[in-house]
Chain A
Amino acid sequence: MERIIIVANQKGGVGKTSTVVNLAAGLVQLGHRVAVIDLDSQGALTISLGFDPYTVRPSTYNLLLDENIAFADVLKDTGKNIALAPANAELIAAEYKLYSQSERTERLRNILQLPREPFDFILIDTAPNLGLVTVNGLAAAHELLIPVAANYLSMRGVRSLLDSVWLIREKLNPQLKLLGVLPTLVHPKAAHAKSAIYEMKTVFKQKVFHAFIPYDDVAATAPAMRKSVLEYAPNSAVATAYLYLAKEVSYAK
């Protein structure tokens, strides 16, 4: 069974894109077939995997707005055994254009449901907002992975995400379940990071991944090298953590 996992958090810069890239790399290492979908018009995921969001076409923009387009049409080979549905900067316009479309919230789901070759995992990266494009992702996904930066302000953002999840589950996608909450940008030594994770565990209990992503600048440098942290610094704490996360994800039912 193909699993479609959306990585979402309305808070910006909490490591959504890093998580998609490195979780994808981890899952590939574990032998899975993986595709990633970039639903952020800033195209951070697309850049991290070596494509230019200003020129790449067709993109998820076409996926959301064109008639008669198949998922495979937009997939790019990244040379890392990860298939990429890239974002083009014009994706920002999709927000407006989708407004006048009839199935504006279900475009992505409908396309992914067309007959096609399955993957083991499809990971969706989202923009730090709850626009129609993000809603399309939430409607298409089976599982939700929420990266939460281990600090006070980031945790406050989780609530508005969960508010939206209520609505999404009621109106669009009752199947959407919580895969897990991933503490990111964790300063292993900082007390506030520890208590942040502790609070996450109080609320989300079993659904907080055992893996947490330490704060480490390799994570910020790797994308500039167009590499996942697993390739760029395989022995780093971040790489190990993402690999462990990949195991947790692939073992989760």
Chain B
Amino acid sequence: MLNKLSQDPLEGKGEEMIPQRGLPFDDIDETPLEEIPPEERIPDFSEAEITPRATESTPEEIPADDNHPFDDGDEPSFQLSAEESEALMGDTEGIFTMEATPWELTETEAEAFMGSADEAFNPEPEATPEEDRSLHGPPGEIALVEHFAEPKETEPDMGMSTHLEDDPAEIEKLFADELAQPSSPIPAQPAPGIVHAAGGVQHEAQSAEDAMIELLVTDEDMLAMWRRADQAQKDVKRLISTLYIARQQLNHIQAARNELMAGKAYYEDAERHINEVEFRVQLSIQLDKLAKTTIPRLYVYLASWFIITVALLFIFGENIFSAEGSSLYFLAGSMLWGGMGGLVGALMPLIKHFSVEQDFAPRHNWWYIASPFVGSVMGAIIYLFMMLGSLSITSGEVSSPVIIYILSGLAGYQHKIFTNLVKRMLKVLEFDGQEEVEEEVEPKTSSG
């Protein structure tokens, strides 16, 4: 670092100043800064003087061995009376109170003038020993510089930041230390972190993004999130009885705690995990309520369907299953078996979502209620197709209705697949008017 700086302190084209995602302003190129009428302009010394990468004079020519005694002019304790300062500065006054403006000086005059001022005063009043060393100080003069440079109480960030900036290893260590100390079971208490930010003792090495996070996520937020994790854990134990789901949730909680311990930067990730668990817990609470109302009703409803269907099959079995029966009986049979399929097709997901996944959502009630009906309709459609001979298994004559019933039952059970199939066939046959074909989707689990 030291070598690099003394060789070429200003390598590059200012990339160090550009954040990763670019400059936060979009008008840098377009809007010129000012429109000062030419007659009001001071001869534009900046443009004339600033040429790219001037190399003729090196930083080393500026001596770093003289600290100006007055460069703390804005320190609260510094209260010189006019006389005192007169006495202190009297003979140097002439040097730094310039009577002529430099842009009126000729180049050589300015050179001569600035040269003497530079020699008389430390050119970098704010430079810390490190800075001085790296920018100007030949290694041999370090001791001298350090002797003069006292630690500055009023600008604590100076020494720290330049020091840290100079040594990437140091920075890494700092972060490693911070990460390695998850403070306490309740990490939302890290008052030191706050002191850090608020006291202005802020390392520039710490990115501004981190600094902002410090500001936007309070300790209270962290503490609250930690409590939410605790609460979520209790709820999972109390309410979730399926092992693998409980395990999933506990994993989320653990992940959230890890994020919280890693620091405020991970607050949002922790929150995402906790949200997931809380949602799942909420679902279980809801399910507890539903277990006393909606779900028994659904079971009763489906059971009634089942009993009625079985009764009807029992009563009309002879007509329905005989190969010589009338087509009306075949239609009824298809519908009964389709309904049975739909019933089973509703019962299975109901058991799955209620007892296994524990994520039954009441908004799917109507799907369960409609399923046997849809199944019946599917059965009827299957029958009609068979009759139309579209599925020319028996070429018109029904040898055994059992095949139709099996198909109807399957159609009822998986009505989604069959509606799609039917749709496709309708398309092939260009039967556009068939509106009774319902698109039904098995309820999806509501959580991930």
Contacts and interface: CB of A to CB of B under 8 A. Distances in A.
Of B25, B103, B135, most A-chain CB atoms within 10 Å: B25
Interface residues of B, number: 100
Contacts of A183: 46
Given A156-B165, A221-B70, A247 B34 contact: yes
Contacts of A11: 161, 204
Contacts of B161: 11-12, 157
B135 A92 contact: no
Interface stretch (B120-128, B177-185, B264-272, B299-307): B120-128
A22 interface: no
A165 B25 CA distance: 9
B12 A199 contact: yes
Interface residues of A, number: 102
B5 interface: yes
B97 A236 contact: yes
B448 interface: no
A180 interface: yes
Given A12-B157, A47-B76, 4 more contacts: A11-B161, A89-B76, A185-B126, A194-B51
Contact of A206 (B31, B58, B85, B202): B31
B102 A237 contact: yes
B120 to A, nearest CB: 9
Contacts of A208: 33
Interface of B is mostly: loop
Interface stretch (B107-115, B253-261, B410-418): B107-115
Interface in B164-215: 165, 194, 197-202, 204, 207-209, 211-212, 215
A201 interface: yes
Interface of A is mostly: helix
A217 B111 contact: no
B10 interface: yes
A201 B10 CA distance: 14
Interface stretch (B15-23, B332-340, B392-400): B15-23
B328 interface: no
Interface stretch (A59-67, A73-81, A93-101, A113-121): A93-101
Contacts of B243: none
A168 B13 CA distance: 26
B351 interface: no
A58 interface: no
Contacts of A190: 57, 59, 61-62, 118, 123
A235 B99 contact: yes
Interface in B78-135: 78, 80, 82, 85, 89, 96-103, 110-111, 114-115, 117-118, 121, 123-126, 131, 135
B68 interface: yes
Nearest to B211: A130
Contact of A153 (B36, B46, B76, B165): B165
Interface in A170-224: 171, 177-178, 180, 183, 185, 187-192, 194-212, 214-218, 220-224
A111 interface: no
A129 B54 contact: no
A108 interface: no
Contacts of A249: 34
B429 interface: no
Contacts of B14: 155, 199-200, 202-203
Contact of B103 (A151, A157, A233, A240): A240
Of A12, A100, A200, most B-chain CB atoms within 10 Å: A12
B139 interface: no
Contacts of A211: 42, 46
